[in-house]
Protein backbone atom coordinates (compact mmCIF):
# COMPACT_ATOMS: atom_id res chain seq x y z
CA UNK A 1 0.00 0.00 0.00
CA UNK A 2 1.42 3.36 -1.11
CA UNK A 3 -0.04 6.71 -0.01
CA UNK A 4 0.96 9.79 -1.99
CA UNK A 5 0.29 13.50 -1.52
CA UNK A 6 0.40 15.80 -4.55
CA UNK A 7 0.72 19.58 -4.88
CA UNK A 8 -0.48 21.38 -8.05
CA UNK A 9 0.01 25.07 -8.78
CA UNK A 10 1.14 25.54 -12.36
CA UNK A 11 -1.43 28.25 -13.16
CA UNK A 12 -4.29 29.91 -11.25
CA UNK A 13 -5.43 26.73 -9.42
CA UNK A 14 -3.77 25.65 -6.19
CA UNK A 15 -4.61 22.11 -5.15
CA UNK A 16 -3.57 19.35 -2.77
CA UNK A 17 -4.62 15.75 -3.33
CA UNK A 18 -4.01 12.45 -1.56
CA UNK A 19 -4.32 8.98 -3.09
CA UNK A 20 -3.88 5.45 -1.84
CA UNK A 21 -3.32 2.77 -4.48
CA UNK A 22 -5.62 4.41 -7.02
CA UNK A 23 -8.22 5.52 -4.46
CA UNK A 24 -8.84 9.25 -4.11
CA UNK A 25 -8.76 10.20 -0.42
CA UNK A 26 -8.74 14.00 -0.76
CA UNK A 27 -8.99 16.54 -3.58
CA UNK A 28 -8.89 20.09 -2.20
CA UNK A 29 -8.52 23.07 -4.53
CA UNK A 30 -8.94 26.85 -4.78
CA UNK A 31 -8.80 29.27 -7.71
CA UNK A 32 -7.19 32.67 -8.01
CA UNK A 33 -9.94 34.78 -9.63
CA UNK A 34 -9.26 38.22 -11.10
CA UNK A 35 -11.76 40.97 -12.04
CA UNK A 36 -13.57 40.82 -15.41
CA UNK A 37 -11.38 41.91 -18.30
CA UNK A 38 -8.16 40.96 -16.49
CA UNK A 39 -5.97 37.88 -16.65
CA UNK A 40 -3.88 36.40 -13.86
CA UNK A 41 -0.28 37.56 -13.68
CA UNK A 42 2.53 35.23 -12.52
CA UNK A 43 3.65 37.27 -9.50
CA UNK A 44 0.16 37.81 -8.07
CA UNK A 45 -0.80 34.18 -8.75
CA UNK A 46 2.24 32.96 -6.84
CA UNK A 47 1.35 35.25 -3.92
CA UNK A 48 -2.15 33.79 -3.86
CA UNK A 49 -0.81 30.23 -3.82
CA UNK A 50 1.61 30.98 -1.00
CA UNK A 51 -1.18 32.52 1.08
CA UNK A 52 -3.58 29.57 0.62
CA UNK A 53 -1.51 26.41 0.28
CA UNK A 54 -1.11 25.59 3.99
CA UNK A 55 -4.84 25.93 4.65
CA UNK A 56 -5.58 23.67 1.69
CA UNK A 57 -3.00 21.17 2.93
CA UNK A 58 -4.67 21.07 6.35
CA UNK A 59 -8.07 20.46 4.72
CA UNK A 60 -6.69 17.64 2.59
CA UNK A 61 -5.18 15.89 5.60
CA UNK A 62 -8.42 16.29 7.57
CA UNK A 63 -10.62 15.00 4.74
CA UNK A 64 -8.38 12.01 4.01
CA UNK A 65 -7.85 11.06 7.64
CA UNK A 66 -4.21 10.39 6.78
CA UNK A 67 -1.41 11.36 9.16
CA UNK A 68 1.87 12.72 7.73
CA UNK A 69 3.74 9.65 9.01
CA UNK A 70 1.56 7.43 6.79
CA UNK A 71 2.49 9.25 3.57
CA UNK A 72 5.15 7.48 1.49
CA UNK A 73 6.13 10.18 -1.01
CA UNK A 74 5.52 13.89 -1.66
CA UNK A 75 4.83 14.87 -5.28
CA UNK A 76 4.58 18.29 -6.92
CA UNK A 77 4.12 19.76 -10.41
CA UNK A 78 7.57 20.17 -11.94
CA UNK A 79 6.17 21.75 -15.11
CA UNK A 80 5.07 22.97 -17.56
CA UNK A 81 3.47 26.15 -16.30
CA UNK A 82 4.05 29.68 -15.08
CA UNK A 83 7.40 29.91 -13.29
CA UNK A 84 6.47 31.89 -10.13
CA UNK A 85 3.45 29.73 -9.19
CA UNK A 86 5.37 26.55 -10.01
CA UNK A 87 8.27 27.68 -7.84
CA UNK A 88 6.04 28.70 -4.93
CA UNK A 89 4.40 25.26 -4.81
CA UNK A 90 7.69 23.40 -5.37
CA UNK A 91 9.21 25.16 -2.36
CA UNK A 92 6.25 24.11 -0.21
CA UNK A 93 6.56 20.50 -1.41
CA UNK A 94 10.31 20.44 -0.73
CA UNK A 95 9.79 21.89 2.74
CA UNK A 96 7.04 19.41 3.59
CA UNK A 97 9.15 16.50 2.33
CA UNK A 98 12.07 17.59 4.50
CA UNK A 99 9.95 18.16 7.61
CA UNK A 100 8.20 14.81 7.20
CA UNK A 101 11.42 13.08 6.05
CA UNK A 102 9.83 11.74 2.85
CA UNK A 103 11.16 11.26 -0.70
CA UNK A 104 10.05 13.77 -3.32
CA UNK A 105 9.01 13.40 -6.95
CA UNK A 106 8.45 16.07 -9.60
CA UNK A 107 5.55 15.23 -11.93
CA UNK A 108 4.84 16.42 -15.47
CA UNK A 109 1.55 18.34 -15.39
CA UNK A 110 0.33 16.88 -18.69
CA UNK A 111 1.11 13.31 -17.59
CA UNK A 112 -0.91 14.01 -14.43
CA UNK A 113 -3.97 14.89 -16.52
CA UNK A 114 -3.61 11.80 -18.69
CA UNK A 115 -3.12 9.31 -15.87
CA UNK A 116 -5.96 10.81 -13.83
CA UNK A 117 -8.22 10.56 -16.85
CA UNK A 118 -7.26 6.92 -17.40
CA UNK A 119 -7.90 6.12 -13.73
CA UNK A 120 -11.33 7.75 -13.57
CA UNK A 121 -12.67 6.60 -16.95
CA UNK A 122 -10.94 3.19 -17.16
CA UNK A 123 -9.86 3.96 -20.73
CA UNK A 124 -7.25 1.40 -21.78
CA UNK A 125 -5.13 2.92 -24.56
CA UNK A 126 -6.90 6.03 -25.84
CA UNK A 127 -5.95 8.77 -28.21
CA UNK A 128 -5.72 11.69 -25.79
CA UNK A 129 -6.94 15.20 -26.50
CA UNK A 130 -5.32 17.44 -23.91
CA UNK A 131 -6.90 20.90 -23.94
CA UNK A 132 -6.30 23.55 -21.29
CA UNK A 133 -5.33 27.16 -20.76
CA UNK A 134 -1.67 26.47 -21.45
CA UNK A 135 -1.66 23.38 -23.66
CA UNK A 136 -3.36 21.89 -26.70
CA UNK A 137 -2.00 18.49 -27.70
CA UNK A 138 -3.16 15.29 -29.40
CA UNK A 139 -1.32 12.41 -27.79
CA UNK A 140 -0.96 8.66 -28.18
CA UNK A 141 1.13 6.20 -26.19
CA UNK A 142 3.89 4.20 -27.87
CA UNK A 143 7.18 2.67 -26.74
CA UNK A 144 7.32 4.07 -23.19
CA UNK A 145 6.39 7.63 -24.22
CA UNK A 146 3.27 9.68 -24.69
CA UNK A 147 3.85 10.79 -28.28
CA UNK A 148 2.54 14.16 -29.47
CA UNK A 149 0.82 13.76 -32.84
CA UNK A 150 -0.40 17.33 -33.11
CA UNK A 151 -0.47 20.53 -31.11
CA UNK A 152 -1.04 24.26 -31.24
CA UNK A 153 1.66 26.22 -33.01
CA UNK A 154 0.91 29.43 -31.11
CA UNK A 155 -1.52 29.89 -28.19
CA UNK A 156 -3.45 27.16 -26.40
CA UNK A 157 -7.18 26.80 -26.96
CA UNK A 158 -7.94 27.69 -23.34
CA UNK A 159 -5.84 30.82 -23.67
CA UNK A 160 -7.79 31.75 -26.81
CA UNK A 161 -11.10 31.35 -24.97
CA UNK A 162 -9.85 33.24 -21.89
CA UNK A 163 -8.57 36.16 -23.92
CA UNK A 164 -11.79 36.46 -25.87
CA UNK A 165 -13.70 36.45 -22.57
CA UNK A 166 -11.55 39.40 -21.48
CA UNK A 167 -12.30 41.25 -24.73
CA UNK A 168 -16.06 41.09 -24.07
CA UNK A 169 -15.54 41.55 -20.31
CA UNK A 170 -16.97 38.25 -19.12
CA UNK A 171 -16.53 37.28 -15.49
CA UNK A 172 -13.61 35.05 -14.49
CA UNK A 173 -15.80 33.34 -11.89
CA UNK A 174 -15.86 30.35 -11.96
CA UNK A 175 -13.83 30.50 -15.19
CA UNK A 176 -13.89 32.45 -18.47
CA UNK A 177 -14.30 29.27 -20.51
CA UNK A 178 -17.35 28.19 -18.53
CA UNK A 179 -18.99 31.58 -19.01
CA UNK A 180 -18.29 31.49 -22.75
CA UNK A 181 -19.92 28.05 -22.85
CA UNK A 182 -23.07 29.41 -21.20
CA UNK A 183 -23.25 32.41 -23.55
CA UNK A 184 -22.71 30.16 -26.57
CA UNK A 185 -25.91 28.28 -25.73
CA UNK A 186 -27.82 31.50 -26.47
CA UNK A 187 -26.10 32.16 -29.79
CA UNK A 188 -28.40 32.09 -32.84
CA UNK A 189 -26.18 33.07 -35.75
CA UNK A 190 -22.92 31.47 -36.88
CA UNK A 191 -20.22 33.98 -37.84
CA UNK A 192 -17.72 32.60 -40.34
CA UNK A 193 -14.28 32.51 -38.67
CA UNK A 194 -10.81 31.51 -39.93
CA UNK A 195 -10.30 27.73 -39.78
CA UNK A 196 -6.62 27.07 -39.29
CA UNK A 197 -5.53 23.42 -39.30
CA UNK A 198 -2.02 22.84 -40.61
CA UNK A 199 -1.53 19.10 -41.03
CA UNK A 200 -1.84 17.76 -37.49
CA UNK A 201 -1.25 21.15 -35.88
CA UNK A 202 -3.61 24.04 -35.15
CA UNK A 203 -3.35 27.81 -34.92
CA UNK A 204 -5.66 29.85 -32.69
CA UNK A 205 -4.08 33.31 -32.58
CA UNK A 206 -5.46 34.42 -35.95
CA UNK A 207 -8.98 33.45 -34.95
CA UNK A 208 -8.62 35.53 -31.79
CA UNK A 209 -7.36 38.56 -33.76
CA UNK A 210 -10.26 38.22 -36.21
CA UNK A 211 -12.79 38.02 -33.37
CA UNK A 212 -11.22 40.99 -31.63
CA UNK A 213 -12.07 43.12 -34.64
CA UNK A 214 -15.62 41.77 -34.66
CA UNK A 215 -16.25 42.39 -30.95
CA UNK A 216 -14.50 45.66 -30.25
CA UNK A 217 -16.20 47.99 -32.77
CA UNK A 218 -19.50 47.56 -30.94
CA UNK A 219 -17.94 48.70 -27.70
CA UNK A 220 -15.31 51.24 -28.67
CA UNK A 221 -15.67 52.26 -32.29
CA UNK A 222 -19.31 53.08 -32.98
CA UNK A 223 -18.37 54.76 -36.24
CA UNK A 224 -17.39 51.40 -37.70
CA UNK A 225 -20.89 50.05 -37.12
CA UNK A 226 -22.32 52.43 -39.67
CA UNK A 227 -20.13 50.82 -42.32
CA UNK A 228 -21.42 47.34 -41.57
CA UNK A 229 -24.19 45.92 -43.66
CA UNK A 230 -27.39 44.47 -42.26
CA UNK A 231 -26.01 40.95 -42.74
CA UNK A 232 -23.00 41.68 -40.51
CA UNK A 233 -24.82 42.19 -37.23
CA UNK A 234 -23.99 39.83 -34.41
CA UNK A 235 -24.21 39.60 -30.62
CA UNK A 236 -21.61 38.52 -28.09
CA UNK A 237 -23.59 35.29 -27.75
CA UNK A 238 -23.26 34.69 -31.51
CA UNK A 239 -19.50 35.23 -31.31
CA UNK A 240 -19.14 32.83 -28.36
CA UNK A 241 -21.19 30.23 -30.23
CA UNK A 242 -19.16 30.67 -33.43
CA UNK A 243 -15.84 30.55 -31.59
CA UNK A 244 -16.70 27.29 -29.86
CA UNK A 245 -18.01 25.63 -33.01
CA UNK A 246 -14.92 26.57 -35.02
CA UNK A 247 -12.30 25.70 -32.41
CA UNK A 248 -13.91 22.40 -31.49
CA UNK A 249 -14.31 21.37 -35.14
CA UNK A 250 -10.54 21.82 -35.53
CA UNK A 251 -9.93 19.61 -32.49
CA UNK A 252 -12.28 16.90 -33.74
CA UNK A 253 -10.64 16.85 -37.19
CA UNK A 254 -7.10 16.45 -35.90
CA UNK A 255 -8.10 13.95 -33.23
CA UNK A 256 -9.87 11.78 -35.81
CA UNK A 257 -6.79 11.88 -38.02
CA UNK A 258 -4.63 10.69 -35.12
CA UNK A 259 -7.10 7.87 -34.43
CA UNK A 260 -6.93 6.77 -38.05
CA UNK A 261 -3.14 6.75 -37.95
CA UNK A 262 -2.87 4.72 -34.75
CA UNK A 263 -5.91 2.49 -35.25
CA UNK A 264 -7.29 3.68 -31.91
CA UNK A 265 -10.88 3.03 -30.87
CA UNK A 266 -10.88 5.28 -27.79
CA UNK A 267 -10.68 9.03 -27.21
CA UNK A 268 -9.93 10.54 -23.82
CA UNK A 269 -10.43 14.29 -23.31
CA UNK A 270 -8.43 15.80 -20.44
CA UNK A 271 -7.60 19.32 -19.28
CA UNK A 272 -9.78 22.20 -18.17
CA UNK A 273 -11.41 22.82 -21.57
CA UNK A 274 -12.39 19.13 -21.57
CA UNK A 275 -15.23 20.02 -19.19
CA UNK A 276 -17.02 21.76 -22.06
CA UNK A 277 -20.18 19.81 -22.84
CA UNK A 278 -20.32 21.01 -26.44
CA UNK A 279 -16.78 19.75 -27.09
CA UNK A 280 -17.78 16.38 -25.64
CA UNK A 281 -20.90 16.32 -27.85
CA UNK A 282 -18.96 17.04 -31.04
CA UNK A 283 -16.25 14.53 -30.22
CA UNK A 284 -18.93 11.99 -29.30
CA UNK A 285 -20.54 12.32 -32.75
CA UNK A 286 -17.20 11.62 -34.43
CA UNK A 287 -16.53 8.63 -32.17
CA UNK A 288 -19.99 7.19 -32.83
CA UNK A 289 -19.45 7.43 -36.58
CA UNK A 290 -16.13 5.58 -36.22
CA UNK A 291 -17.46 2.97 -33.80
CA UNK A 292 -15.16 4.32 -31.08
CA UNK A 293 -15.69 5.20 -27.42
CA UNK A 294 -15.39 8.66 -25.88
CA UNK A 295 -14.13 9.12 -22.33
CA UNK A 296 -14.18 12.38 -20.37
CA UNK A 297 -14.16 13.49 -16.74
CA UNK A 298 -16.12 16.12 -14.86
CA UNK A 299 -14.80 19.34 -13.34
CA UNK A 300 -13.46 17.56 -10.23
CA UNK A 301 -10.68 15.99 -12.27
CA UNK A 302 -10.41 17.75 -15.66
CA UNK A 303 -9.61 21.11 -14.05
CA UNK A 304 -6.11 21.32 -12.52
CA UNK A 305 -6.00 19.52 -9.19
CA UNK A 306 -3.57 18.05 -6.71
CA UNK A 307 -4.92 14.51 -6.87
CA UNK A 308 -3.83 14.07 -10.49
CA UNK A 309 -0.27 14.92 -9.46
CA UNK A 310 -0.54 12.48 -6.56
CA UNK A 311 -1.83 9.67 -8.78
CA UNK A 312 0.78 10.18 -11.51
CA UNK A 313 3.41 10.29 -8.76
CA UNK A 314 1.99 7.05 -7.35
CA UNK A 315 2.38 5.41 -10.76
CA UNK A 316 5.96 6.68 -11.01
CA UNK A 317 6.93 5.74 -7.46
CA UNK A 318 5.63 2.17 -7.58
CA UNK A 319 7.42 1.58 -10.90
CA UNK A 320 10.75 2.53 -9.35
CA UNK A 321 11.14 6.19 -10.32
CA UNK A 322 13.12 8.22 -7.78
CA UNK A 323 14.36 11.81 -7.74
CA UNK A 324 17.49 13.26 -6.17
CA UNK A 325 17.03 16.37 -4.03
CA UNK A 326 19.18 18.40 -6.42
CA UNK A 327 16.73 17.58 -9.22
CA UNK A 328 13.61 18.71 -7.35
CA UNK A 329 13.41 21.99 -9.24
CA UNK A 330 10.91 23.27 -11.81
CA UNK A 331 10.98 23.14 -15.61
CA UNK A 332 8.74 25.79 -17.12
CA UNK A 333 8.84 24.13 -20.55
CA UNK A 334 8.45 20.42 -19.76
CA UNK A 335 7.06 18.54 -22.74
CA UNK A 336 4.81 15.52 -22.43
CA UNK A 337 7.05 13.33 -24.57
CA UNK A 338 10.12 13.99 -22.42
CA UNK A 339 8.84 11.66 -19.69
CA UNK A 340 9.72 7.96 -19.80
CA UNK A 341 6.51 6.08 -18.96
CA UNK A 342 7.94 3.32 -16.80
CA UNK A 343 4.60 2.19 -15.35
CA UNK A 344 2.93 1.04 -18.59
CA UNK A 345 3.57 -2.23 -20.39
CA UNK A 346 3.85 -2.07 -24.18
Residue numbering of the annotated binding site: 109, 113, 130-134, 162, 177, 181, 276, 304
Contacts of 108 (CB under 8 A, 6+ apart): 78, 79, 80, 312, 334, 336, 338, 339
Instruction: Give the burial class of 271: count Cβ atoms within 10 A of its Cβ; 0-12 exposed, 13-18 middle, 19 or more buried.
Output: buried
Q: Which residues are annotated as a binding site for substrate?
A: 130-134, 162, 177, 181, 276
Taking the CB of residue 130, how many other CB atoms lie within 10 A of it?
26
Please list, in sequence order, all residues whose beta carbon lies within 8 angstroms of the beta carbon of residue 242, skipping any fewer than 6 positions away. Answer: 187, 189, 190, 191, 192, 193, 234
Estimate the crossing angle of helix 236-262 against helix 176-184, to 10 degrees. 100
- Report DSSP state, residue 190: P
> How many Å is the maximal CA-CA distance in the chain?
70
Q: Determine the length of the chain.
A: 346
Alpha carbon dihedral 200, 206, 208, 211, in 10-degree steps, equals -120
Q: Which residues are annotated as a binding site for a divalent metal cation?
A: 109, 113, 130, 304
Q: Are the beta carbons of 309 and 14 closer than 8 angstroms?
A: no
Q: State the Cα–Cα distance between residues 186 and 131, nearest whole angstrom.
A: 24
**Residue 109 near residue 8, CB atoms below 8 Å:** yes
Q: Tell me which residue of 133, 78, 142 sits closest to 108, measured CA to CA.
A: 78
Distance (Å, whole) CA 51 – CA 43: 13
**Burial class, 124, CB count within 10 angstroms (exposed 0-12 / middle 13-18 / buried 19+):** exposed
Amino acid sequence: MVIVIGFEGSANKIGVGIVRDGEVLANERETYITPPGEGFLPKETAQHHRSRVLEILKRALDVSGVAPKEIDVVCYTKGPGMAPPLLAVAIVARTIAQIWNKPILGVNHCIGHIEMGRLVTKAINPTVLYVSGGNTQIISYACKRYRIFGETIDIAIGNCLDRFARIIHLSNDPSPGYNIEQMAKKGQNYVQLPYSVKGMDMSFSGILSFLEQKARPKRKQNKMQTKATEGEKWSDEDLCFSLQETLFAMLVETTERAMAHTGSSEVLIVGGVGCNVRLQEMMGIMCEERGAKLFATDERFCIDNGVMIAHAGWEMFRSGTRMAWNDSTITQRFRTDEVEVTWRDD
